[in-house]
Amino acid sequence: MSTITKSPKESFTIMNELVLPNDTNPLNNLMGGRLLHWMDIAAAISAQKHCNNIVVTASVDNVSFRHAIKLGDVITIEAKVTRAFSTSMEVRLDVWAENIPSGTRVRSNDAFYTFVALNKEGKPISVPEIEPETETEKKLFEGALRRRQLRLILAGKMKAHDATELKALFLNQSEL
């Protein structure tokens, strides 16, 4: 891990997109794949702001679609790094859909994406640490290790019995 420390606000990114006809399905709803694409771009920008290097997407957590996003809506994607590990960063995304003529705005999606920082040769490199400032940032930071362990277990890169943070949620300290 790098000795440089950054705050989450330094990686904060806001991206807006207008939902056009070529972004929609036959029901005039935004296609999920198009939204995931936009979310990936916003999250990558946030991760790059944090580490000042090229990044690649390592994982995308569960993305649930709460509300249909309609043709003509304006999408606002907010992204911020929540925690940095040795070479990877977790980025939180919040997606809002706004119908400007009606004045309505709804939260459509949220997700966590993980990125790995790379050097010019395409090799993973260390990233700056995160120093959360607000209560929300601190809660997201604290939960990031559990989310990371779950991602690693699901990817087959960690055994469940090694996930100490996850086990602590379910077992008494004497059982650990």
Q: What is the pLDDT of residues 137-163, one digit of tens each?
A: 999 998 888 888 777 776 676 676 666
Please, are residues 97 and 34 in contact by the beta-carbon 8 Å criterion?
no
Beta bridge partners of 130: 6
| Average pLDDT estimate for 88-107 | 96
2 vs 83, residue with greater confidence: 83
Contact yes or no for 47/80 (Cβ under 8 A):
no
Q: CA angle, corner 155, sides to 150 and 156, nearest 5?
A: 100
- Name the H helices within 26-114: 32-51
d(CA 21, CA 153): 40
Neighbour tally for 157: CB within 10 Å = 8
**Which H or E run contains 79?**
strand 74-84
Helix (H, G, I), strand (E, B) or coil at 77: strand
> Average pLDDT, whole number, for the chain?
90
The tokens of 44 are what?
């990558």
Q: What is the CATH number of domain 5-132?
A: 3.10.129.10
Strand-pair partners of 83:
90
Please say if the pLDDT value at position 171 is more than 60. no
Burial environment of residue 12 by CB neighbours within 10 A (0 to 12, 13 to 18, 19 or more): middle
pTM for the whole structure = 0.87
* Extents of the domains making up the chain: 5-132
pLDDT at 79 over 80: yes
Return the structure tokens found at 124: 């993973």
**% of the chain with per-residue pLDDT over 90:** 74
Q: pLDDT at residue 27 above 90?
A: yes
Give the helix/strand (H/E) hosting 139.
helix 135-154
